[in-house]
Amino acid sequence: MPAIGARSSCFLIVALIGWPLSRLGAQDADLILRNARIWTADSARPRAEAVAIRGERLIAVGSNTDVERYRSPRTRVIDAGGRFVTPGFIDDHTHFSQAGALLIGANLLDVASATPFAFRVKTAVARMSPGAWLTGGDWGAYEDWSTNSTGPRAPTDASRPARFSPDRTIIDSVSGATPILLNRWDRSAWLANGNALERAGLSCTRPARGLECVNGRATGRVADSALARVRAAIAPKTFDQRLREARAAQQHLAELGVTTIHDITPPFQLPVYSALKQRGELTVRVFARPTLDKWRSLTYAGIAPGFGDDWIRLRALKGFVDGIQGNSTARFYEPQLHSGRRGEWRDSTNTGATDGPGSGMQPAGNMERLLFGLDSAGWWANVHAIGDEAIDTVLTIMEKVIATNGPKERRWRIIHSQVIRNAGVAQRYKRLGIIAEVQPYHAIDDMRWMEERIGTRARWAYAFRTFRDAGVPLLFGSDWPGTNASWYTANPMVILYAALTRQTVDGKPAGGWFPEERLDLETSLRSYTINNAWAEGEEASKGSLTAGKLADLVVIDRDLFAIPPTEIKDAKVLLTIVGGRVVHAAAPFADDEGSGVRSQASGGSGIR
């Protein structure tokens, strides 16, 4: 276990707490789950029908008879009734803090009309901490292309309907005392309510550039210096608000069976995770990934790769090569067809850097310097690359670092691995030992505009089967909650469906989009469980249902192997257990006094 430096308190992460394996053995179970159809992800025992749990660990996995000997009068017993059980899902890519902000705040990505706009703002206001601002929203992301559409985008130019342009009359009556500043998904329009304008000192009698007034009344639409003044008036988010957002986000994940996240973690979020853990409220394990430029400050503070415990762990850092395809900034060799531009290299000034040159490609040579540095210090590199040129470029840099620094354990990833140039690129991943971190829902959401933008290159977009056939480790996850251009679900059932069918949720196109890249269920489940555990260096403690490992598991309402792939999206998680603790229970397990399983209390911190 890595040493913990004296200055580790800078991240406010509590001390390591482990479960000594020497204590595991023939003993009474705290909880037994029996009469299940269990897919274990353990190659030595692929199937089972019962598990026994003591404390946070599995002490037995096998038949009902095998597990019965761990039962005592104090053991809680849950009868699964023949339902399907898997290890807890491990999501390879989340933006947890952003997701919580959307769940508590207003998610307007799919909104482009007044009534739902007002309704979502009203419900968001009811969830806010006193004094907190409601910001963001990203309205109208699907105006040009409808959700899950595979057809051409909406008409353009004169024939195109005017974009939704809300004014403050829609929200003033539902916003109460909450100041509000919302934006369109592409940041081309901003809307402030009356409270926000007042706090910024803006009115039509005291005009500012960018303040729109009609008949002497401010519409709430702001730009230029008026927008700057509203932004300057926004109060910093309180810690209480961040805790509210985190509780909402982890409850949502529990309901979906997600027990670990590989999170893109800004510095302000680590204290939130730590506070929840100290209070006994943390219900999802966190593989936290700060940005690449933090390797120096982490090393200086004595925080070694692997720092943390079974709940919060740091071992990998994230960098950025290019932009995203949602706003056409992914970097390609040839121009994108709709814009005539090849995309962008990620500028380090836009990657959240606070104490160094940042974690992007620019200035020239920055990515190479970062990878050499963090590799020497033992950190693993997880680098965002989407376009074909971006992927080849980071592979070249990684190859140089590997060749120069020599052999060592490197579970390095290319995050998204979205559009490769051809199958030979997957072979290069395999030769270098690079992992493909993918998010299958991207494929069935992005197909609405992908071919319009990159034409025949779309054949090599989301090339999951090509990676698998090349022997490249595949990781699955969500990118939840998405980008300013798209909303991505965190539901593993929908994400598995996307990998198996490559169809929109309404079944289009028939046979799937580039169906040669569809995957089988076994590969997909492994990519969502044991592969992700391995990629974070935690395969010895989670990712499969094996005696001695953490008791993270989910009960699903139907056997995923016994239904057509098209039905997987409709499957529901009924029970989620993290470290032996029930954190989500739906009927028929909710309020089951006999098993000790109780449904989550409104506003509480989890199952009690």
Averaged confidence pLDDT in the chain: 89
pLDDT of residue 98: 92
pLDDT at 151 over 70: no
Write the pLDDT tens digit of every residue in 269-324.
999 999 999 999 999 999 999 999 999 999 999 999 999 999 999 999 999 999 99
In the predicted structure, residue 8 carries a pLDDT above the cut 80: no
The pLDDT of 247-270, averaged and rounded, is 97
Read off the pLDDT of each residue in 392-408 and give the average, rounded to a whole number. Answer: 98
Mean per-residue pLDDT, 7-23: 34
What value does the mean pLDDT take over residues 431-452? 95
Q: Is the pLDDT of residue 36 over 80?
A: yes
pLDDT score, position 485: 67
Mind listing the pLDDT tens digit for each residue in 362-397? 999 999 999 999 999 999 999 999 999 999 999 999
Reduced to 3 states (helix: H, G, I; strand: E, B; else coil), residue 578 is: strand
Residue 596: pLDDT over 80 = no
Query: Cα–Cα distance between 460 and 473 in angstroms, integer?
Result: 17
Contact 94, 259 (CB under 8 A): no
* pLDDT tier, 42 (very low <50, low <70, confident <90, very high otherwise): very high
Check residue 482 and report its DSSP letter: B
Could you give the CA distance from residue 108 to residue 46 in angstroms, rounded to a whole number? 43
Residue 349: predicted pLDDT: 62
Q: Which domains does the chain have, with CATH numbers?
A: 28-88+548-585 (2.30.40.10), 290-535 (3.20.20.140)
Percentage of the chain beyond pLDDT 70 is 88
| DSSP code for 268 | G
* Higher pLDDT, residue 6 or 190: 190
Is pLDDT of 414 > 70? yes
Phi, psi of 263 (to 5 degrees): -100, 145
Residue 162 has a pLDDT of: 82
Q: Which residues have C-beta within 8 Å of that of residue 215, sequence separation ≥ 6?
A: none
DSSP state, 30?
Answer: S
Element (H, E) at 468: helix 464-470
Q: Which range among 4-13, 233-242, 492-501 has the greatest average pLDDT?
A: 492-501
Structure tokens at 60: 């037995």
Question: What is the number of alpha carbons within 13 Å of residue 372 lying toward its C-beta?
Answer: 10
First vs last C-alpha separation in the chain: 32
Q: What pLDDT was estimated at residue 217?
A: 95
pLDDT in tens, 459-516: 999 999 999 999 999 999 999 998 766 789 999 999 999 999 999 999 999 999 999 9
Three-state secondary-structure class, residue 122: helix
Q: Across the chain, how many H-helices and E-strands are there?
A: 17, 25
267: left (phi over 0), alpha (psi -120 to 50) or beta: alpha
Mean pLDDT for the stretch of residues 553-559: 98
Residue 591: pLDDT band by 50, 70, 90 thresholds?
low
Rounded CA-CA distance 164/284 in Å is 38
Query: How far does CA 55 lie from the centroid of its chain?
Result: 28
Q: pTM of the entire structure? A: 0.88
For 31-77, give the DSSP string: EEEES-EEE---TTS-EESEEEEETTEEEEEE-HHHHHTT--TT-EE
Three-state SS across 369-434?
HHHHHHHHCCCEEEEEECCHHHHHHHHHHHHHHHHHHCCCCCCCEEEECCECCCHHHHHHHHHHCC
Residue 195 has a pLDDT of 96
pLDDT digits (tens, 9 = 90+) for 331-358: 999 999 999 999 999 987 654 444 444 7
Most confident of 2-16, 22-36, 424-438: 424-438
pLDDT of 602: 29
Q: What is the 3-state secondary structure (H, E, C) of 494-541?
A: HHHHHHHHCCCCCCCCCCCCCHHHCCCHHHHHHHHCHHHHHHCCCCCC
